[in-house]
Structure 1
Amino acid sequence: MVDISIETEAQTAQRLRQVIAAAELEVHEGVWCYRETPLAEPPRLSEHTLAVVRDAESWSALVPFTDADGDPDVEQFGLFSFHFPAGVDNSGFVGWLAGHLKQALGTGVFVVCGSNRSRGGIYDYWGCPSSLLPAAIAEIQTLRTPN
């Protein structure tokens, strides 16, 4: 169920700091990238594939950089993920944290969401430039600490 919250910006920040503190945070090892294939050639899925999306022209599979044939021109990302406890109102989380990381680190992020009802529902994979992953995790740990 999608939660709808009517609250001030300060109330939202306070609620989402509680959400991030309660969420299960996992930092994923290695460097990740998007491997692109033509629309007529869907990617082969493996246990290493985290997500697959497409547009009108191509597929993009989020995979370890080592699975991208070592193309040095491919953007390289560090990944972390959040699983949220069941029943927690995490509405607005992506925008809030993305905005915070942009302001704190000067970079944008990408987010791929999925759902696993046995683990609380919606979960998020987050990507940032691989060189900024340690700084992103440090910033997240600060947000997870009570004010």
Structure 2
Amino acid sequence: MVSVSMEQPEQTEQRLRRVLTAAEFVVHEGAWYFEESPLATPPLLTGRELAVVRDDEVWSALVPWAGPARDAEVFGLFSFHFAPDLDNSGFVGWLATALKRELGTGVFVVCGNNHARGGIFDYWGCPIDLLPAAVQIVTTIRSRPSQS
């Protein structure tokens, strides 16, 4: 369910800090990259794909990277499963802005829904070399007390 919050910026900040603190936060092992295939040849789902998306020319599957140095952008991943009773609207923009401000680079986010686990979940990707710094930023924000 999509929530609409009418609140002041300070209220949004405090709400999203509570959302972050309550979320299940997992840092995923390994490196990941986007493997492309032609639109006429969708990827065969084998279970290694974290996400598959397409545009009007190619399919792009987010899969583990295990090869030698290659001409591909490689990412580190972390994820959040959100508490079902907290309004997480605006979370992606809020945290992405904080990460951009601190890391100097953007992130990508793949969202999904798992009703059995409370609803929305997000996978976040950043350049693999920046993963430790991104995790530290998230951990620091989570450890700051929010004013209820």
TM-score exceeds 0.5 = yes
Is 1:98 the equivalent of 2:96? yes
Q: Percent identity, aligned pairs only?
A: 61
How do 1:99-138 residues align onto structure 2 when only pairs under 5 Å count? 99-138=97-136
Partner amino acid, structure 1, of 2:110: V
- With the length of structure 2 as denominator, give the TM-score of the two structures: 0.95
How many residues are treated as equivalent by the alignment?
Answer: 145
Q: CA offsets per residue over residues 85-130 of structure 1, 9 Å max, x none?
A: 1121000000000000000111100000000000010100000000
Which amino acid letter does the alignment assign opposite residue 60 of structure 1?
A: S
Q: Give the distance between the partners of 1:83 and 1:10, measured in 2 at CA.
A: 24
Give, in angstroms, the shift of residue 70 of structure 1. 4.6
What CA distance in whole angstroms lies between the structure 1 residues aligned with 2:98 and 2:46?
33
> What is the aligned partner in structure 2 of residue 12 from structure 1?
12
Deviation at 1:82, TM superposition (A): 0.2
CA 1:71–1:58: 2 relative to 1, 3 Å? farther
Cα RMSD, aligned residues only: 1.1
Within 1, Cα distance between the matches of 2:57 and 2:98?
A: 32
Any stretches of 5+ residues in structure 1 without a counterpart?
none
Give the match's secondary structure for 1:140. Answer: helix
Q: Which amino acid aligns with 2:106?
A: G
Output aligned runs, 1:1-147, within 5 Å: 1-66=1-66, 70=68, 72-147=70-145
Structure 2: 5+ residue stretches without partners? none
